[in-house]
Amino acid sequence: MDLLNTLVDKGLRRELPTRDEALAVLATSDDDLLDVVAAAGKVRRHWFGRRVKLNYLVNLKSGLCPEDCSYCSQRLGSEAGILKYTWLKPDEASKAAAAGLAGGAKRVCLVASGRGPTDRDVDRVAGTIKAIKDQNENVEVCACLGLLSDGQAERLREAGADAYNHNLNTSEATYGDITTTHTYADRVDTVQKAHAAGLSACSGLIAGMGESDEDLVDVVFSLRELDPDSVPVNFLIPFEGTPLAKEWNLTPQRCLRILAMVRFVCPDVEVRIAGGREVHLRTMQPLALNLANSIFLGDYLTSEGQAGKADLEMIADAGFEVEGAGEVTLPQHRADVAAAAAGGGCGSHESAGGCGSHEGAGCGTGCGSVCGSHEPAAVPEVNEPRTDLVAVRRRGAGTDLAPNA
């Protein structure tokens, strides 16, 4: 296919595809899907080899957010039955982070719900960063605390943060349909503040909110212009109790096409499969590793993820390897720029990002009614919403139960 040959050539040269080319990737047929994956996989392997970076989320403060982001289980007015708790103490957060690092993660992502941090919150997070880094010499820390005020990014950098995450989520044209309590421009401003402070910028999107192909291309082109080191791709989990609870718009095939498009537009950037991979990619997750070079290990902010052991087995079985703590994630030309700014590559995910998934091994809290019975599981219909795969997190940070890592 001439389109794919052109996109591979451009990806190897770090040349931006045209909008029409990006749209054409999203419009490819299921018959051509493996060709699309193979082509984008050439670009992924050129810049990142067969390494997969593991990132681990610690939800420092869960729920009770004053913002009205429609996709979010922590939003103002959310009726989702998620965990709700105030700030973890530094030793509690450090203990939670240690579980992920022991499981193979090299980056810890510290997330807190809310519009943005107060100066006292920044001090609080600074103490948590110190506690984590005192216990783990080579750990990378990314903070995700919402909209930043002047000077806060610099203070986080001084405290030892390596990166800052703030997602654009959707196109500028449709942003007002998703959130009304802040603007798209607010989000862009925070990413720029992180850049300016010498933090590695991390910014991505949420797919599956009813957006058009044009919206997806718009937001990914905007991300390319912002030039973050990391682009997390979240797939909406329609939590019951949120305005987007009925938005089941994704198939595994569409998720793969979206990831391929992101890889072609952002060829040398850390592309991370974030929330929703277990729910929407399902058994196609290993194929997606040919497109993305980064995932989250274990659970997400308010929902359960695939078992950490299953994540590691999936990576090995697919012929990939976990990126070591001593390995540099980014290609040399990007790593040099990041080093000059005293940054790294980011590994975080939107604090309100509707990140839901299910327990990947055995009977978790979200397993269906067949758990523990001898009745055969029903075979799902094609494109049937898999509400059975959404499980609220009930373990790890904010609980007395061991985390999933």
Cα torsion at 202, 203, 204, 210 (round to 10°)?
A: 160
Closest CA to 395 of 329, 325, 299: 299
Half-sphere exposure of 252 (CA within 13 A, CB side): 16
Task: Please pick, among 272, 277, 334, 394, the residue that the annotation labels catalytic.
Answer: 272
Task: Please pick, among 65, 144, 346, 355, the residue that the annotation labels catalytic.
Answer: 65
Q: Could you tell me the CA-to-CA distances from 159 to 6, 126, 274 in Å, in that order?
A: 44, 5, 26
3-state secondary structure of 278: helix
pLDDT of residue 394: 66
pLDDT of residue 382: 58
Closest CA to 304 of 259, 247, 256, 362: 362
Cα torsion at 64, 75, 204, 95 (round to 10°)?
A: 30
Task: Please pick, among 44, 124, 144, 202, the residue that the annotation labels catalytic.
Answer: 202
pLDDT of residue 351: 35
pLDDT of residue 70: 85
Contacts of 376 (CB under 8 A, 6+ apart): 370
pLDDT of residue 86: 87
The tens place of each residue's pLDDT in the chain, 405 residues long, gives: 799 999 999 999 999 999 999 999 999 999 999 999 999 999 999 999 999 999 999 999 887 888 888 887 777 677 777 778 889 999 999 999 999 999 999 999 999 988 999 999 999 999 999 999 999 888 999 999 999 999 999 999 999 999 999 999 999 999 999 999 999 999 999 999 999 999 999 999 999 999 999 999 999 999 999 999 999 999 998 888 888 889 999 999 999 999 999 999 999 999 999 999 999 999 999 999 999 999 999 887 777 788 889 999 999 999 999 999 889 999 999 988 877 775 433 333 333 333 333 323 233 323 333 333 334 445 456 567 787 677 677 667 777 777 777
Q: Is 202 a catalytic residue?
A: yes
pLDDT of residue 395: 65
Copy the structure tokens of residue 245.
Answer: 């609870």
Task: Please pick, among 44, 69, 266, 355, the residue that the annotation labels catalytic.
Answer: 69
Copy the structure tokens of residue 299.
Answer: 């659970």
**What is the pTM assigned to this prediction?**
0.87
Q: Is 142 a catalytic residue?
A: yes
Residue with tokens 């290990």: 297
Q: Is 367 a catalytic residue?
A: no
Q: Is 346 a catalytic residue?
A: no
Q: Which domains does the chain have, with CATH numbers?
A: 43-340 (3.20.20.70)
Residue with tokens 């609980």: 399
3-state secondary structure of 184: helix
Alpha-carbon 116 to chain mean position:
19
Task: Please pick, among 44, 75, 107, 109, the residue that the annotation labels catalytic.
Answer: 109
3-state secondary structure of 99: helix
Task: Please pick, among 142, 144, 255, 266, the residue that the annotation labels catalytic.
Answer: 142
Q: Is 69 a catalytic residue?
A: yes
